[in-house]
Amino acid sequence: MSQPMPASPIGVFDSGVGGLSVLLELRRELPHENFIYVADTGNAPYGERGDDFVQQRTLAIARYLQDAHHIKALVVACNTATTAAVSELRSAFPDLPVIGVEPALKPAAASSQTHRVGVMATRGTVQSARFEQLRLAFSDGTEFRPQACDGLVRAIERGVEEDPAHATAPAEIRALCARYTAAMGSFGQRTGDIDTLVLGCTHYVFIKDELRELLGPDVHIIDTGAPVARQTRRILVQRDTLADESDAAHAGQVRLYTTGRLTALQAAGQRWLQLAPEQCATLPA
């Protein structure tokens, strides 16, 4: 297999369309790079699956991206896949830089004034040993209140195709957001309130407006897209594989693939990244 070159694409992978929030930040940070994105929607949601299944799918998609597209780096834009499979990925592909995403507990602990931080994530993330290690590492003086948000990823995925022309989330998404934020406790700036919310799933970035409406303007909402994009740039610089900015004819290309419904990915790509439907295709589940 040929060695990756600066013109080689970056692979980006998620269980569904949520990782498009990370791809959005990657394109802002690295506008001259080419990207191949895979949404494993036909097997989602990962957060309600077991680790063995997530590891198997993650390794299979990484193999596809490397063999078919000769990627120079892989961004695992899925918190559940990161917690379940990033170590296995790095062992299986020792020459491939792998950048994962994790709930941003460190910056949340540093910025919280009330020392109460809510964390919305999938059940797979919340119950993982990796998340517990992360929580313990930054819990000195900060109380984290993790909440497994069953059903929310499914609702977001459905909402993309059912209402592609509007930013208003379906009533199901609003109801789930209200239920899960209430379960964490009171939000605000008073003593004992949660003043910071960590979005521990890349899907949740796309419902930030709904969460803001529920929680008010003073609660700090943190996601990981921009830090992941900056880390990806640092790794490419270290490896001397940044795309050549002078090669405009072959730069900035994006291709999206899905193992689920093509129309859902096309709707998400158009809404959030302004991509043409022709830039999307299907893969076998």
Active site residues: 78, 201
C-alpha–C-alpha distance, residues 145 and 112, integer Å = 13
- Written as one letter, the residue type at 44 is A
Own/partner pairs, 47-51, CB within 8 angstroms, 24+ separation? 47/15, 47/80, 47/121, 47/122, 47/123, 47/124, 47/125, 47/148, 47/153, 47/201, 48/122, 48/123, 48/124, 48/150, 49/124, 51/84, 51/85, 51/124, 51/128
Indicate the helix (H) or strand (E) that contains 144: strand 143-148
Q: SS3 of 218, please?
A: coil
The closest of 216, 212, 210, 119 to 171, measured between CA atoms, is 210
Name residues whose C-beta falls within 8 Å of residue 244's C-beta, 6 or more positions apart in sequence: 6, 7, 32, 251
The closest alpha carbon to 255, from 271, 225, 241, 276, belongs to 276
**CB-CB contact of 203 with 16 (8 Å):** yes
- CA dist., res. 1 & res. 41, Å (int): 29
